[in-house]
Amino acid sequence: MTSMSSAFTKTAKARAALQAHSAELTARERQLLILCDGRRPVTQIVDLLGGNARALVERLRNHGYLQGTASTGQAQQASPAALGRTVATAATPVPVAGEVRASQPAVGSLKARRSAAATKMYMIGVLQLLRDMEASSLAVALHTSADEGELTANALAALRFIADRSGLSYARRVADRLAEVVPEPHLPAVQAMAQELVTRPAAA
C-alpha cells in the first residue's frame, strides 16, 4: 500500500504514453502523471485532484507508469506557490454579470523572458483553475506539445475553450498575459486571437 508521504516520478513508459497521447490513459490519469514529478508527496496530489487520486496512483504504479522516490519533509511542507509549476491555486470562480471571473496564476516571473516553458506554465495554470475534465485534457495537450508551433496551437485552442467556459472578459485578460510570454515568432497568432476575442459578440 502506498504511503501518503511517498513521492513518485514518471517512468519512461509514462513519458512515452503522454507524448503519444496513448488511449491507454484517461484524461485524469494523464493529469496525475503530470503532477508526479518526484517531489510532491501523495498527500499533495490527493489534495489537488481529490476523488480517487490515491487509487489512481496505486493503479499507475502497478502498471509501470510510476516509480517511487525518497520523500522529503521539504516536499511535504511546500507552500501552495511551490506546489509546482503545473498547477496554480486560486479562489473559486465567482459568477459576475453572466461570466465567470477566476483568479489567474501570477505571471511576474514569466515576464522576465518569452519562452515555450513560460507559455506552457502559464496556460496550464489557467486551465487548472477551471477544474474541468476538458480543461485537464487541454492542459495535457499543452504539456506534451512537441514543438513551439504545436504549443501555440494548443494555447489558442485553450483560449477558445476559456472564452466559452469562463466568458470573453476573462479570456481577453488571459490572451493579454499570454501575449507577454509567448515566443516572439508566435506572438502574431496570439494577437490575432486576442483581436478575435475583442470583436466576438457576447453570448446572449
Whether the per-residue pLDDT at 87 is higher than 80: the answer is no
101 and 49 part of one domain: no
Please report where in the chains the cell 480517487 appears, as a residue.
52
Angle at 54 between CA 49 and CA 58, to 5 degrees: 135
What residues does 8 pair with on adjacent strands? Answer: 68
98 and 181 part of one domain: yes
pLDDT for the residue 183:
92
106 and 25 part of one domain: no
55 and 103 part of one domain: no
98 and 72 part of one domain: no
In the structure, what pLDDT confidence band is assigned to residue 179 with cuts at 50, 70 and 90? very high
> Which H or E run contains 28?
helix 27-35
Give me the mean pLDDT over the 129-135 stretch: 82
Please report where in the chains the cell 503522454 appears, as a residue.
18
Residue 86 domain-assigned? no
Pairing of strands 66-69, 37-41: unpaired
Residue 88 domain-assigned? no
Residue 204 domain-assigned? no
Q: Are the beta carbons of 57 and 43 closer than 8 angstroms?
A: no
Q: In what order do the strands lie in the sheet with 7-10?
A: 37-41, 7-10, 66-69
- Longest CA span, the chain: 54
Domain count of the chain? 2
70 and 98 part of one domain: no
Residue 2 domain-assigned? no
159 and 71 part of one domain: no
**Candidate from 34-38, 52-56, 74-78, 118-122 with smallest mean pLDDT:** 74-78
Domain residues for the domain of 66 are 7-76
Q: Which among 46, 76, 106 is the end of a domain?
A: 76
> Which H or E run contains 69?
strand 66-69
C-beta neighbour count of 145 within 10 angstroms: 19
Give me the mean pLDDT over the 129-148 stretch: 84
In the structure, what pLDDT confidence band is assigned to residue 26 with cuts at 50, 70 and 90? confident
What residues does 37 pair with on adjacent strands? Answer: 9
pTM (2 d.p.): 0.50
